[in-house]
Structure 1
Amino acid sequence: MKLHILGICGTFMGGLAALARELGDQVEGSDENVYPPMSEQLAALGIGLQSGYRAEYLRGDLDQVLVGNATSRGNPAVEAMLNRRLRYVSGPQWLSERVLPGRRVLAVAGTHGKTTTTSLLAYLLDANGQQPGFLVGGVPENFAVSARLGSGPAFVVEADEYDTAFFDKRSKFVHYRPEVAILNNLEFDHADIFDNVAAIQKQFHHLVRTVPGNGRLIVNGEDAHLREVLAMGCWTPVERFAICADSGPLAEIEWQARLLAADGSRFELIRRGQSLGALTWSLCGRHNVMNALAAIAAAEVLGVSASDCARVLGGFQSAKR
């Protein structure tokens, strides 16, 4: 297929370009702002990149236009696409139709930490021989690309609550139909499209509704807003993660960490009250320890044990945005 991607330098749309190229499609794209790391990734893949949005970029021999959510009505390329009756689709829908069918999808959602957690989960699976596919909102240092198809059954996707496209105002993540969903945290964000926290919670609950009963929800056990989301209705087994209280592990939290270094570079991993040993890695911060707990819990659903995750954790490097 011949594809043109509008907004191709965005981390999500640039990742789709890499996946489409790997599928054998002819890919080109345009963007108002051309900048690394996506511009460098696209150049390395030999994907044509045009600056600005111009009607003449949309040639008549295109099979499909992928529309990024940075474009809207009034954009010259969007208007040309509509007037010429070109086939078009949102990025999330394209991903759900071309890449995700038949895969074991792991979606990483949350206001913060999505890129790090997605990168880490893909790394943990890959370092344990699972060869996952992934799509990350950045370029993970361990892989040097933001997306790949992978030869294994798993596909890890950074799952954004922002809206899909100018013609589809649902959150991106409702398209992915994950077997495993990580809910990292939930705070007020994206004031341009959400009026309040309740509006964001409604979208997160839409995601919860799509996770099957034999799947898994991995949820921040410290987050009151996420507790309220689950209280709206939950039909999937839930595992929670948290930093261990000073008084000791909490019985209701399946995955916990006790900080052994104040900066989070060393911590004890605790599962269902049982210590699994001390872990040392290169990242710092309490928030990153929480990200690690979420990724380890999700990896275990795919058959990678916590001890196997601990063995390779020290080799993880973060992502470039």
Structure 2
Amino acid sequence: MHIHILGICGTFMGGLAALAREAGHRVTGCDAGVYPPMSDQLRALGIELIEGYGVDQVALQPDLFVIGNVVSRGNPLMEAILDAGLPYTSGPQWLSEHVLQGRHVLAVAGTHGKTTTTSMLAWILEAAGLQPGFLVGGVPQNFGVSARLGAVRTPSAAGPSQGASAPSGGSDVPAGPSVGAPFVIEADEYDTAFFDKRSKFVHYRPRTAVLNNLEFDHADIFADLAAIETQFHHLVRTVPASGRLVVNAREEALERVLARGCWSDVARFGIRGDVPG
């Protein structure tokens, strides 16, 4: 497949481009500002980058245009795509359908600390020999890249070449049958695209969701804290009963989210009511 990514130099879309390239797709992309560090990472992967959103990019004739949330109506290339009736999708939707399907997704959400926690979790799983895939909103020093596919199946004790189901029994990571190797993703609550105003993280369908904290943020798209809490509850609704929520017990906003309904095991960290000194 040839995909052309609009807004490719954002940390999320750049990571998506790297995953698509690793999966064997032809990847091209454009942005209003082709800038490092993502531009350097993408060029090193052999991904062609185009400056700006010229309508002439329609002539590339990709199989699919993948649209970043930086793109809005009035963007000349987007208008040309719409006028011509060409196929397009959002970045989170493409990721869900082409990378995350069948994986044990571990999604890290919260107003603060997502990049750090996602990087730490991916490294812990790497050190445990699970060869996780990941997409981080930055470039973790231990890995040197912001995204990778990782193992398709959880490596068995016999070695990474032997496919096996996700750990069960004594594992602290709950897993259902036929769940593939782990994929750790930074789960952003910002909206998906101009045509999909849901938070990005509702597309990821995690089996394990880490809810670090929840405060009012993104005032450009959320009216108040309650509106963000609603999006977090949408995320909670996607976690299966065999999955797990790892929740900061010190966050009243997260407790309100769970009070709306929770169908999964909950593991809390911190002490409820404890306030930092």
Quote the offset at 1:127 in angstroms. 1.2
Cα distance in 1 for partners of 2:91, 2:209 equals: 20
Q: Deviations over 1:75-124 (max 9, x none)?
A: 01101111121110100000000001110000000011000111110000
The answer (yes or no) to whether the contact 1:4–1:58 under 8 Å persists in 2 is no
Map of 2:209 onto structure 1: 181
Q: Note the 1:110-189 alignment, pairs <5 A.
A: 110-151=110-151, 152=154, 153-189=181-217
Q: TM-score if structure 2 supplies the norm length? A: 0.87
SS of the equivalent of 2:29 reads strand
TM-score (norm 1): 0.75
In structure 1, what is the equivalent of residue 234 of structure 2?
A: 206
Q: Which amino acid aligns with 1:34?
A: V
> Following the alignment from structure 1 to structure 2, what is the Cα–Cα distance between the partners of residues 88 and 143?
31
Using the alignment, how far apart are the partners of 2:91 and 2:45 within structure 1? 19
1:61 positional shift: 2.4
Contact 1:11 / 1:137 at 8 angstroms: preserved in 2?
A: yes
Distance in 2 (CA, whole Å) between partners of 1:208 and 1:77 is 35
What residue is the counterpart of 1:265 in the other structure? none
**Secondary structure of 2:59 counterpart:** coil
Write out aligned runs for 1:1-321 (5 A).
Answer: 1-151=1-151, 152=154, 153-242=181-270
Whether the 8 Å contact between 1:173 and 1:207 is mirrored in structure 2 is yes
Task: Give the equivalent residue in structure 2 for 1:308.
Answer: none
The secondary structure found in structure 2 opposite 1:178 is coil
| SS of alignment partner, residue 247 of structure 2 | strand
* Equivalent pairs, count: 247
2:219 and 2:54 mapped to 1: Cα distance? 29
Secondary structure, in 3 states, of the residue corresponding to 1:139? Answer: coil
Q: Which amino acid aligns with 1:27?
A: V
CA RMSD of aligned residues (A): 1.5
Task: Tell me the alpha carbon deviations over residues 44-91 of structure 1, each in whole angstroms, 9 at most, x when there is no partner.
Answer: 101011111111122252100000000011001101111121110100
Q: Which amino acid aligns with 2:112?
A: H
1:33 Cα deviation from its structure 2 partner: 1.5
- The one-letter amino acid of 2:135's match is L
The whole-number CA distance in structure 2 between the counterparts of 1:193 and 1:181 is 23
Structure ranking higher in strand proportion:
1
Secondary structure at the counterpart of residue 59 of structure 1: helix
Identity of matched residues, %:
67
Quick one: distance in 1 between partners of 2:61 and 2:202? 31
Are 1:111 and 1:186, in contact at CA under 8 Å, matched by a contact in 2? yes
How far apart are the structure 2 equivalents of 1:37 and 1:240? Answer: 36
Please tell me the residue identity of whatever aligns with 2:259.
Answer: A
For 1:61, the aligned partner's letter is Q
* Residue 292 (structure 1) aligns with: none
Look up the equivalent residue of 1:150 and give its one-letter code: G
Whole-Å separation in 1 of the counterparts to 2:77 and 2:226:
35
